[in-house]
Amino acid sequence: MSGTFTKSMARNIFYGGSMFFVLLFLALTFDTMKVLPQRDNRANLTQAVINGKKIWETRNCIGCHTLLGEGAYFAPELGNVYTRRGPDFIKAWIMGQPTGTPGRRQMPQFNLTPQELDDLVAFLKYSSEINSAKWPPNIEG
Amino acid sequence: MQYKSQAVAKPYFIAAIGLFVGQILFGLIMGLQYVVGDFLFPAIPFNVARMVHTNLLIVWLLFGFMGAAYYLVPEETETELWSPKLALALFWIFLVAGALTIVGYLSLPYAKLAELTGNDLLATMGREFLEQPLITKIGIVIVALAFLFNITMTTLKGRKTSIVLVLLLGLWGLAVMFLFSFYNPHNLVLDKFYWWWVVHLWVEGVWELILGALLAFVLIKVTGVDREVIEKWLYVIITLTLITGIIGTGHHYFWIGTPEYWQWWGSIFSALEPIPFFAMTIFAFNMVNRRRRDHPNRAATLWALGTGVMAFLGAGVWGFLHTLAPVNYYTHGTQITAAHGHMSFYGAYAMVVLCIISYAMPVLRGRAANSNKAQVMEMWSFWLMTVSMVFITLFLTAAGVLQVWLQRYSQTPMPFMEAQDQISLFYWLREGAGVIFLIGLVVYIGSFFVKGESKAQTT
């Protein structure tokens, strides 16, 4: 980078280039927002699902588990747990924690009410029905 | 020290190092919990330890960035800070708020903390890296705005160099993108989509501007190379950063319900993301080779070169490893992601903060550079931490490859916990490397207390 390529040219390319890609990103975002209703399962966004999402958040589930592959990698993927285990297993599992098996990873007891358990399951069912482009590769998540 | 007000950087740097220690201790707790699952349970469940580990990382880096700005801006703009008192007040506010948040994480059930801190008014908690209570988030915004006001006012009354402009752009971007943390729609796909506007556009966007500016500043100081040359490089690097990194956000939009064209946009643009990091490495080595003087602070030069190399390896190479959609289909949300996360954060951000501390701290303590003995010790800590981080990354990568093989790729996929049992050896090795990292950090802190002859006084 000698002679003819000056700092002010570099600066102008920076501002111009960045601005172009910001606008492109916004355009793609705009298109995504238009397409999402067909993919994000918003038709099934019931009050139970909304409550369930809040329970998911306020128990910091993402601190151990992944949801659609995002989160922590300490415990199983839960985006498809509804299809993998079904509602009754999920509820019984949550109620049965911690297992207390020596040396095994432990999940806290959250003392959820039957209503809260139903809401959480509703949220996990809703999550499992989002069109995630065939991810995960298999039922084990 | 050229300007008296630069001294406010010192408490920021000390706090950054202190919080860094906390981050590593909690990292070791989590690392052990991976293999001894009930370690410290139920006192510190894994999710709490992880929240403390990642939040401390973010906060100590923010302390580092702010300290760096308070040190750098007066010197670049050739004027005293607009208000050193405000800077000092913000330091205490941020430190106390941060400490209270961590105490809250550790002493209360998370749901109780949410209830007590207004999460019912506006639910923002319980999302990865954005676990902070609403009041902490608001506090962060207030501190950030007051900080930006202070350094922007300083810049307005002084010399406006490219380094300062890029730094300001990065810091303003950091604050603006954080505002998306207050947007938490019920729709999970939208939630995830805009969550990345904070997380990705921070670390693969605006934070890289901060990184570039800090590196450029230190390189000017230690090499004496002409500012015009260095600032031209800086613009080239950050151009490459933003033209690859912004659309590169798409590599997070493969499997979260977003349209499938993102697999193309994300793969192609994020495959180009190593380029700016490679340019940064070339830049650092080139400038040091063309140095016009031999700065007595060799440790700072080592950190500058190290951050270039490690950012390229961690963010560039390890990012590329799993960024193409057909690969990511199998690796998404495995230990491969963890491997990349560790080396990139250390290489790009931890090291650049340690670099500016290494350069600025001796000056703040009234000398151009530390004694030879202290520098040798600091360089030992550099190698201990950096090499152990390479091993942490390699062990996590091995764990991740096995995990993908057993749980994702196989014809007879194994359940998650069974696969985890199979790879526990690599988690033990990772924990061992983590202990070496901690030893490196102790050596690093020890280097601040080594006396011996100090180099020429600065004025």
Question: Cα dihedral angle (B397, B428, A64, A118), rounded to 10 degrees?
Answer: 110
Instruction: Flag whether A53 is in a domain.
Output: yes
Q: Is A140 on the interface with B (CB under 8 A)?
A: yes
A-chain CB neighbours of B131 within 8 Å are 60, 63
Q: Say whether residue A139 is in contact with chain B using an 8 A CB cutoff.
A: yes
d(CA B217, CA B230): 9
Confidence of residue A79 (pLDDT cuts 50, 70, 90): very high
pLDDT at A44 over 70: yes
Same domain for A69 and A22, yes or no, is no
Range of the domain at A58: 43-128
CB within 8 Å of chain A, chain B residues 344-403: none
Our CA-based measurement puts residue B245 at a distance from the nearest CA of chain A, in whole angstroms, of: 9
DSSP string covering A12-57: HHHHHHHHHHHHHHHHHHHHHHHHGGGTS-GGG--HHHHHHHHHHH
Query: Closest Cα of chain B to A130: distance in Å?
Result: 6
Same domain, A23 and A51: no
Whichever domain contains A80, its CATH number is 1.10.760.10
Residue A11 lies in a domain: yes
CA dist., res. B245 & res. B228, Å (int): 25
Answer yes or no: are the C-beta atoms of B323 and B271 closer than 8 Å.
yes
Checking ipTM against 0.85, whether it exceeds it is: yes
> Is B187 at the interface with chain A, CB within 8 A?
yes
User: Residue B391 pLDDT > 50, yes or no?
Assistant: yes
Mean pLDDT (whole number) for B428-447: 98
Same domain as A33, residue A98: no
Q: How does residue A2 score in pLDDT terms, banded at 50, 70 and 90? A: low
**Residues in A 50-109 with any Cβ partner in B closer than 8 A:** 50, 53-54, 56-64, 66-77, 98, 100-108
Residue A141 lies in a domain: no
Amino acid at B359: Y
Residue A58 with chain B: CB contacts under 8 Å: 110-111, 114-115, 119, 123, 125-126
pLDDT-derived band at B459 (thresholds 50, 70, 90) equals very low
> Does the pLDDT at position A70 exceed 60?
yes
Q: What is the mean pLDDT of residues A93-106?
A: 97
* A57 part of a folded domain: yes
Summarize the confidence of residues B231-237 as an average pLDDT: 97
Kindly state whether residues A121 and A61 are assigned to the same domain: yes
- Looking at beta carbons, which residues of chain A come within 8 Å of B188? 40, 53, 67-68, 126-127, 130
- Please indicate whether, in this complex, the C-beta atoms of B249 and A22 are within 8 angstroms of each other: no
Q: Is residue A96 part of a domain?
A: yes
| pLDDT, tens digit, 9 for 90 and up, residues B44-74 | 999 999 999 999 999 999 999 999 999 999 9
With 80 as the cut, is the pLDDT of residue B107 above it? yes
pLDDT digits (tens, 9 = 90+) for B179-233: 999 999 999 999 999 999 999 999 999 999 999 999 999 999 999 999 999 999 9
A70 to chain B: which residues are within 8 Å by CB? Answer: 128, 192, 252, 256, 333
How much is the mean pLDDT over chain B? 97
Q: Establish if A1 belongs to a structural domain.
A: no
Q: What is the pLDDT of residue B207?
A: 97
What is the total count of domains within chain A?
A: 2
Distances (CA, A) of B1 to B4, B70, B370, B448, B451: 7, 12, 14, 18, 20
On whether both A75 and A23 belong to a single domain, the answer is no
Share of chain A above pLDDT 70, in %: 98
B161 has a chain A CB within 8 A of its CB: no
Q: Percent of chain B beyond pLDDT 70?
A: 98
Asked if A36's CB is within 8 angstroms of B413's CB, the reply is no
pLDDT for the residue numbered B452: 73
Q: What is the pLDDT of residue B451?
A: 85
Strand partners, B226: none
> Is there a contact between B162 and A11 if contact means CB atoms under 8 Å apart?
yes
A130 to chain B, any CB pair closer than 8 A? The answer is yes
Taking an 8 Å cut-off on Cβ atoms, the answer to whether A63 and B47 are in contact is yes
Q: In Å, what is the CA distance from B378 to each residue of A38, A108, B150, B413, B441?
A: 56, 41, 32, 47, 10
Instruction: Evaluate whether residue A2 is within a structural domain.
Output: no
Asked if A32 and A55 sit in the same domain, the reply is no
Q: Any CB–CB contact under 8 A between A110 and chain B?
A: yes
Answer whether B267 touches A (CB < 8 Å): no
Q: B243 — phi, psi (to 5°)?
A: -75, -20
Do A90 and A27 lie in a common domain?
no
| pLDDT category of residue B1 using cuts at 50, 70 and 90 | confident
Name the DSSP letter for residue B253: S
Which pTM was predicted?
Answer: 0.97
- Verify that A65 and A115 share a domain, yes or no: yes
Question: Out of A41, A64, A137, whose CB is closest to B408?
Answer: A137
- The predicted structure's pLDDT at residue A127: 98
**Nearest-CA residue of chain A relative to B50?**
A63
Q: Nearest 10 degrees: CA dihedral of B319, B247, B346, B24? A: -100
Assess if residue A122 is contained within a domain.
Answer: yes
Q: Does B41 touch chain A (CB under 8 A)?
A: yes
CB of A41 less than 8 A from some CB of B: yes
- pLDDT, tens digit, 9 for 90 and up, residues B279-310: 999 999 999 999 999 999 999 999 999 999 99
CB contact under 8 A, B333 and A73: yes
Angle at which helices A114-128 and A47-58 pack, to 10 degrees? 100
The answer to whether residue A126 neighbours chain B at the CB level (below 8 Å) is yes
Same domain, residue pair A55 and A28: no
- Which residues contact residue B271 at a Cβ distance below 8 angstroms, ignoring those fewer than 6 apart? B320, B323, B324
